């Protein structure tokens, strides 16, 4: 069927039928006409030059249903019911590793795609917007995206969850032995920086194992004396009933070093932990404090963001894109 730039019409009587051989589109029109109990007029509507918009087509198809009241029918909505493929790519893919995120970006990127990042805790993430606005040209929808949310490893999640929480002696001894694989020896540079800052010394992993075993021996014993040594360590003397209140000493280091992957399949992070204690009614409550761990994670995310930008070759920005429409 041909149309001029005004209106060419074809009328279908109420209850009339249409030969299916001329196509499903004509059959659809006939059905709409029958439902309207009147004739249907097809044509195009021309966009007035006064409101010309580069984002809109010059013409759109319309239908006027003649019945008790004439009304316009949105043909696009009717044709969308018969769509066989998407009009454009939309949605946000979720990558669970940095390598997968980079591979996904390389698969879908074009010359105008960009990367965004939130590097700070909580909820750090990288976001690729494949159909981002052109630098000079038409705006785009920004609805096709990929996201990497830096899933935290179970090991590091445990350290975060218990940060600053008090332990009894038996609990702390068990925790140290369970997490011994996450501990590391501080480097010379780390010792120089943090032992000077906190005026105490780093424990090596074996020190913490010895501490944990000493705590297990003294579970249920009261602290007889606590003395801070020149090294910054604390010496605890425990009373025991078996030795008539004559107990052994435990030297408590003030710092230990964590070195473990914070994110799944990610690189190692190094975090200083301060070992603290409180005396309560002769018993010891233990806890640790992770020093500036959120800043350590921010630097790790920023490093991974730079890696993604370099490997994909895309423009990269810390922040968030405009909301997609």
pLDDT in tens, 51-103: 666 777 777 777 776 666 667 777 777 778 888 888 899 999 999 999 999 99
Residue 189: CB partners within 8 Å, gap ≥ 6?
A: none
pLDDT confidence band for 186 (50 / 70 / 90): very high
Residue ranges of domains in the chain: 20-80, 91-152+301-318, 154-292
Query: Residue 206 burial by CB count (10 A; 0-12/13-18/19+): exposed, middle or buried?
Result: exposed
The residue-averaged pLDDT of 116-130 equals: 98
pLDDT over threshold 80, residue 167: yes
Structure tokens at 282: 């002769």
pTM of the model: 0.74
Element (H, E) at 196: helix 188-198
What is the model's pLDDT at position 123?
97
Pick 86 or 283 by higher pLDDT. 86
pLDDT of residue 15: 44
Whether pLDDT at 14 is above 60: no
Q: Is 48 helix (H, G, I), strand (E, B) or coil?
A: coil
CA–CA distance, 248 with 262 (Å, rounded to integer)? 38
Do the strands 91-95 and 71-74 form a parallel or antiparallel pair, or are they unpaired?
A: unpaired
For the chain, helix (H) and strand (E) counts, in that order, are 8, 15
Q: Which CATH architecture has domain 91-152+301-318?
A: 2-Layer Sandwich (3.30)
Distance CA(130)–CA(208), nearest Å, equals 49
Residue with the bigger pLDDT between 282 and 207: it is 207
What pLDDT score was predicted for residue 285? 83
- Given this model, what pLDDT does residue 145 score? 98
Q: Is the pLDDT of residue 24 over 90?
A: no
Please give the Cα distance from 211 to 253 (Å, whole number).
9
* Least confident residue range of 14-28, 49-63, 263-277: 14-28
Tokens 């004439």 found at = 70
pLDDT at 210: 78
């Amino acid at each position: 069927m041909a149309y001029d730039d005004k209106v060419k019409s074809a009328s279908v009587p109420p209850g009339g039928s249409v030969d299916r051989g001329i196509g499903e589109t004509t059959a659809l029109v006939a059905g709409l006409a029958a439902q309207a109990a009147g004739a249907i007029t097809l044509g195009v509507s021309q966009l007035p030059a006064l409101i010309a918009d580069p984002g809109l087509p010059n013409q759109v198809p319309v239908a006027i249903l003649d019945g008790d009241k004439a009304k316009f029918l949105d043909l696009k909505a009717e044709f969308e019911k018969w769509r066989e493929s998407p009009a454009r790519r939309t949605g946000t893919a979720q990558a669970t590793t940095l390598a997968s995120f980079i591979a996904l970006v390389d698969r879908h990127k074009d010359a105008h795609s960009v990367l965004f990042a939130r590097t700070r805790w909580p909820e750090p993430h990288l976001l690729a917007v494949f159909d981002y606005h052109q630098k000079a040209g038409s705006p785009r929808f920004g609805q096709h995206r990929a996201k990497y949310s830096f899933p935290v490893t179970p090991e590091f999640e445990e350290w975060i969850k218990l940060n600053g929480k008090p332990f009894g002696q038996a609990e702390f001894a068990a925790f140290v032995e369970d997490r011994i694989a996450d501990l590391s020896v501080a480097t010379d540079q780390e010792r120089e920086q943090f032992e000077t800052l906190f005026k105490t010394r780093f424990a090596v992993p074996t020190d913490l194992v010895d501490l944990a075993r000493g705590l297990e021996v003294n579970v249920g014993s009261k602290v007889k004396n606590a003395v801070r040594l020149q090294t910054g360590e604390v010496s605890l003397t425990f009373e025991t009933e078996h030795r008539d209140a004559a107990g052994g000493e435990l030297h408590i280091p003030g710092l230990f070093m964590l070195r473990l992957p914070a994110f799944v399949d990610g690189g190692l992070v190094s975090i200083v932990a301060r070992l603290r204690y409180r005396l309560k009614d002769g018993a010891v409550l233990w806890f640790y404090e992770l020093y500036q761990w959120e800043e350590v994670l921010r630097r790790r995310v920023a490093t991974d963001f730079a890696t993604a930008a370099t490997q994909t070759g895309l423009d990269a920005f810390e922040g968030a894109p405009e909301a997609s429409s």
